[in-house]
Amino acid sequence: METKRLGVLLGVAIIFALTRPISAVAEVPARDLSRVSETPPPNATLPLATVLHEGNEPDQPIRSWVRNIPSIWILADFTCQSLCSPILRQTADALSGSGLLAGRDFNLFVAGIDPKDSAQDAAAMKAAQIGSEGQIAAHTTMLQGKEEAVTQLSDNLGFHAIYDKANDQFAHPAAVFVVTADGRVSRVMSGLGLDPQGIRLALVEAGKGQVGSLADHVRLLCYGFDPARGAYNFMVGRALTIGGGLTILSLGLLLGLMLRKERSVRRLSRPSA
């Protein structure tokens, strides 16, 4: 966990250094940057009764947005160009290449963390990073809410950001939350370096047997999630154990079939009374 925290802080510091003047960086002291993290509490869930809205539509509880399928959640500043935009683009690209079907296997939600952002800001970010065509765009929802609602969502997810008042920007973790159909946080993945295989495995795991193929579930047994990196790693020892078990099972089935065949031949070769 400490390695992951250091990685988050380093990423935030690099982004600020590359995209903000030196004087602006000084507006966010190191002691404040140290609070930037994504640390969901045990058994973290979305605040399902909290209300959010899409565009100029009426507020609806998060429960109605989840729609009983796994989902990906990103908390973003809709006017941020330094970190939020690349995270959304990379997540959308990974989902597009995952082989899973948006709207059936998952939905993507982007919740605004700056209550000052407008519906136009949300729409502009979606258009720039995802576009307006295709399955991913059709099932990506840009959500906004009052400050209390945003705080409730952030607190439930353990998402801690720091506001840079001088530049009207947020220092925040590059986190992507994978959520089960009933609103439980299943995994927290790194939004930087997200790949199609990793996001597929996370959604298969969150789907609890309802998402992916049998091969996906077997593959998931061979991978372990590394919380420090926010990614899945292939585990050679586990794969060899599973492979050995399958080999033994296959041999057992083959021997059983051979014994059955031999017994059938013997019965047929016996002289009739």
Give the whole-angstrom CA distance, residue 231 versus residue 198. Answer: 6
Q: How many CA atoms lie within 13 A of 152 on its CB side?
A: 15
List beta partners, residue 71.
Answer: 107, 179
Tens digit of each residue's pLDDT, the chain (273 residues)? 444 444 444 444 444 444 343 333 445 555 555 566 678 888 999 999 999 999 989 999 999 998 889 999 999 999 987 788 899 999 999 999 999 999 999 999 999 999 899 999 999 999 999 998 899 999 999 999 999 999 999 999 999 888 877 777 888 888 899 999 999 999 999 888 889 999 999 999 999 878 877 777 677 677 766 776 767 776 644 444 544 554 555 555 666 666 666 566 556 666 655
Give, rounded to a whole angstrom, the gap between the first and last alpha carbons of the chain.
Answer: 77
**pLDDT for the residue 170:** 82
In the block, tokens 């089935």 appear at: 253
φ/ψ of residue 96, rounded to 5:
-65, -35
**pLDDT for the residue 37:** 67
Give the whole-angstrom CA distance, residue 156 versus residue 150. Answer: 10
Architecture of domain 2-234: 3-Layer(aba) Sandwich (3.40)
Per DSSP, which regions of the chain are E strands?
37-38, 51-54, 60-61, 71-76, 107-112, 140-144, 159-160, 162-164, 169-171, 175-179, 185-190, 223-226, 231-234
**pLDDT for the residue 13:** 42
Query: What's the Cα-to-Cα distance from 151 to each of 40, 112, 170, 264, rounded to whole Å?
Result: 14, 11, 14, 71
Contact (Cβ atoms closer than 8 angstroms) between residue 174 and residue 159: no
Instruction: Give the domain ranges of the chain.
Output: 2-234, 238-273
DSSP 134: S
Total-model pTM: 0.74
